[in-house]
Amino acid sequence: MRSAVMLSLALTAGVLFFSAPATAQLFRYEMIDRETGRSIGPIGRGGLFGSPVRRTTVSFDGRRYSPGSIVINTAERRLYLVLDERRALQYGIGVGRDGFRWSGTHKVSAKREWPGWTPPPQMRKRQPGLPAYMPGGPDNPLGARAIYLGSTLYRIHGSNEPETIGQAVSSGCFRMTNDDVIDLYDRVRVGATVHVYLK
């Protein structure tokens, strides 16, 4: 009996010894998407602790909106997922820079995991160094998820640049950290209404 206990302790110690460094390395360097098993990117580049704005449930006058709707306030640089008449889930976002902000109402027309990116011609004209196409992955500017808005060129998407959350730097899309956009992606449905306000 004693030898069996000792063997069990030795095996347990061995598992802890060999698995602990691997686990520590995983969380030190990168965040793994729980659904796909793919890397979302290093911590500090859109990982678990990347967003300067904490995702939280807030009081919200949702009487004008149906639950599941998205309300974006570009002046606040916040996105709200309406939960009910009195509450919403609030996320920090990055918005369009001067001359690229817009308002309107659209439907979520599609959702993509690890989307590829085809910069539109007008963007490539402004930035000639952009590729014609970039496949999806941790280095793609669209990040881990993209939520497409109607037939527009605009998306709500992830980003590996958490320092841009709360800033106006995009060409009209709405940026979120990868962990926040995955959370939103899992909650929102295709067909949901998205209201974008400048104030």
SS3 content of the chain, % helix, strand, coil (to 5): 25, 30, 50
Which one of the listed residues 157, 162, 172, 194 is annotated catalytic? 157
To the query of whether residue 195 is one of the catalytic residues in this protein, the response is: no
Phi and psi of 106, rounded to 5°?
-140, 170
To the query of whether residue 157 is one of the catalytic residues in this protein, the response is: yes
> Closest Cα partner for 26 from 11, 12, 37?
37
Sequence-distant (≥ 6) Cβ neighbours of residue 194 within 8 angstroms: 69, 70, 71, 72, 105, 106, 107, 108, 149, 156
Which one of the listed residues 82, 89, 93, 173 is annotated catalytic? 173
Supply the DSSP symbol for 94. B
**Residue numbers annotated as active site:** 157, 173
